Structure 1
Amino acid sequence: MIETFVFDVGETITRDDRYWTSWADWLDVPRHTLSALVGAVVAKGLDNAEALRLARPGIDVAAEYQAREAAGRGEHLDEGDLYEDVRPALAALRRAGVRVIIAGNQTPRAGELLRSLDLPADLIVTSGEWGVAKPEPEFFRRVIEVSQAAPEATVYVGDHPANDVFPAKAAGLRTAHLRRGPWGHLWADDPEVSAAADWRIDGLSQLVDLTKG
């Protein structure tokens, strides 16, 4: 029986459109150029920060992040950044009596912004707040701690095979791979992803049926 669902953030809960658009504008490169570079690193299985390094060789991403914040052009999230199925699906899961957690690779500031949206979740936490990021095993040990359920009764939901599906499965969690965003679509039919994921879904509303089994 499933007792807890834990959700990734980027391209699971939120769209990454604003994130990449803001970086393109900050680096003064065409938005389409950066979007294409993101696609290229996705296809190679690289970390998405590599797109920024391709757009601006030698960039210190952390330093640029701080510079953006200082200039008043830092992180921002609002209702328009949420996928349309997020609120209804999370609310339905809580009505079904399961614990809902959002835990992904984001900054402490992103955690603050997410919590300000008053989502129907029992806990929202980020890698920046934990001090450890996916795909590190320690991140998923933290997930198991906050899930308040056994690993086999906890489902980690995400779009990224290397950051979500594979390490969550290795930690003993059940996994749902979401066909959403560039990673979700590109790797949806990969045999290794198919083998590792307990479920493959096209939207979060499909998770509600899993609570009825």
Structure 2
Amino acid sequence: MIETIVFDVGETLVRDDRYWASWADWLDVPAHTLSALVGAVVVQGRDNADAVRLLRPGIDIAAEYAAREAAGRGEQLGEQDLYPDVRPALTALRERGVRVVVAGNQTGKIGELLRALDLPADLVVMSADWGVAKPAPAFFARVLDVSGAGPESTLYVGDHPANDIIPAKAAGLRTAHLRRGPWGYWWADDPDVRDVTDWSIDSLTDLVDLVGR
């Protein structure tokens, strides 16, 4: 029985298009150019920051983050960035007695912005808050610390096999791979991903029926 569902953030709850568009604007390149490069590094299994490095070899990503923040052009997150199924699905899950946790690889600022949206969740916490990021086993150990349930009763939902599904499964959690965003679509039917995925879903609302069963 699933007692707790833990959600990834990027391309699970939140659309990343505005995020990448802001980077394109900062780098003064067309948005579609950066999007194409993100797609290229995705299919190669590389870090998505490599898309920025392809445009600016040798760039110091951390320094650029700081410069963007200083210029008032840093991270943003609002209601318009949420996928439309987020609030209905999370609300329905909580009504069924499921503990809802949001835990992703994000900065402390994104954590603050997400909490300000007052999502129907019992806990919203980011890797920056914990000082450890996916896919490290310590991240999923922290997930279990806050789950309130055993690993067999905790479901981790995400789009990225290497960051979400594979390490969550290795930690003993149940897993749901979401067909959403570049990582979710590209690896949706990969047999290795299917082997470690308990459920493949097309929408967060699928989880409501899953829990009901």
Describe the SS at the equivalent of 1:5: strand
CA distance in 1, matches of 2:52, 2:126: 22
Q: Distance in 2 between matches of 1:35 and 1:70?
A: 25
Q: Secondary structure at the match of 2:39?
A: helix
Q: Distance in 2 between matches of 1:184 and 1:211?
A: 21
Match of 1:110 in 2: 110
* Partner Cα separation in structure 2 for residue 212 and residue 181 of structure 1: 26
Equivalent residue number for residue 101 of structure 2: 101
CA-to-aligned-CA distance 1:51-74 (integer Å, 9 cap, x gap): 111111111000000000000001
Read off the aligned partner of 1:169 and give its amino acid letter.
K
Which residue pairs with 1:142 in the alignment?
142
Corresponding position: 1:197 with 2:208? no
Structure 1: distance between partners of 2:7 and 2:111:
13
- Give the match for residue 10 of structure 1: 10
Once the 2 structures are TM-superposed, how far is the Cα of residue 100 of structure 1 from its aligned partner? 0.1
Deviations 1:171-194 (A, max 9, x none): 000000000000000000000111
Which residue number corresponds to residue 46 of structure 1? Answer: 46
Q: Deviations over 1:60-117 (max 9, x none)?
A: 0000000000000011111100000000000000000010000000000000000000
The answer as to 2:74 corresponding to 1:74 is yes
- Displacement, 1:212? 1.6
Q: What is the match of residue 64 of structure 1?
A: 64
CA distance in 1 between partners of 2:212 and 2:91 (Å): 15
SS across alignment from 2:13: coil
Instruction: Look up the SS of the partner of 2:120 in the other structure.
Output: coil
Q: Taking structure 2 as the reference length, what is the TM-score of the superposition?
A: 0.99
Unaligned runs of 5+ in 1: none
Give the corresponding residue for 1:153.
153
Q: Which runs of 5+ in 2 are unaligned?
A: none
CA distance in 1, matches of 2:210, 2:154: 12
Identical-pair percentage: 74
Within 2, Cα distance between the matches of 1:101 and 1:188? 23
Shift of 1:9: 0.1
Alpha-carbon distance between aligned partners in 2 of 1:73 and 1:114, rounded to the nearest angstrom: 18
When normalised by structure 1's length, the TM-score is 0.99
What CA RMSD, in Å, does the superposition of the two structures yield over aligned residues?
0.5
Secondary structure (helix, strand or coil) at the match of 2:111 reads helix
Q: How many residues end up aligned between the 2 structures?
A: 213
